[in-house]
Amino acid sequence: MSHMPTLEVASLPKDAVEVGRIADAWGIKGWFKVHAFSSNPEALFAAKDWFLQPAEKGAKHFTGTVVLPVKQARFHADTVVATSPEVLDRNAAEALRGARIFVAREHFPKTEDGEFYWVDLMGLNVINREGVALGVVKDLMATGPQTVLVLGYEEEGKEQERLIPFVDAYVDSVDLAARQIVADWQTDY
């Protein structure tokens, strides 16, 4: 017998951003732990509705996209925990394990000048001051105090990687509209 909560089927908003996953049940009253992709998960806290999609692997208790109304989301120690009026007990919370959480972009806090969400940098073309293409942002890594852009590019038919620290010393400009980053970097660094 499935304990999956009855959640409304929805379509993913066009501006939806994947912000985390449901990790596991927490306690017996239907609370669940969330693995947030950001160390500052304000969008998770701000959004009253989370859009869920099933995990790529493992048991699937639902298909497509469902909307999870969130009553409360907060930090507990170093973990994010949340509760929904639709998730009434531990079994229902466990049925959501692994679900991918998306939040509509409108719920993201506004960024300061010079601040960007990682998700906005993905897929941007990176060129240097001379206009030479360095690659496309395919990932970002947090290495202690700084973030590093992981660029993918092709050389002699092979997929290669190039790492550039995402700091003012190397990054001249980020133009989201033009989908381009200009970096003070050479191809042989």
Domain positions in the chain: 8-107, 118-183
Return the SS3 of 118. Answer: helix
User: Taking Cα atoms as reference points, which of 171, 168, 141, 138 lies closest to residue 153?
Assistant: 138
| Residue pLDDT, tens place only, 52-87 | 999 877 767 788 999 999 999 999 887 899 999 999
Q: Look at residue 36 in the predicted model and tell me its pLDDT.
A: 86
| % of the chain residues with pLDDT over 90 | 53
**CATH superfamily for domain 118-183:** PRC-barrel domain (2.30.30.240)
CATH 2.40.30.60 holds for 8-107: yes
Residue among 71, 69, 61, 65 nearest 52 (CA): 65
116 has pLDDT over 50: yes
**In contact, 67 and 130? CB cutoff 8 Å:** no
Contact 103, 10 (CB under 8 A): no
Contact 32, 93 (CB under 8 A): yes
Q: What is the mean pLDDT of the chain?
A: 88
pLDDT of residue 59: 67
**What pLDDT, on the 0 to 100 scale, is given for residue 142?**
74
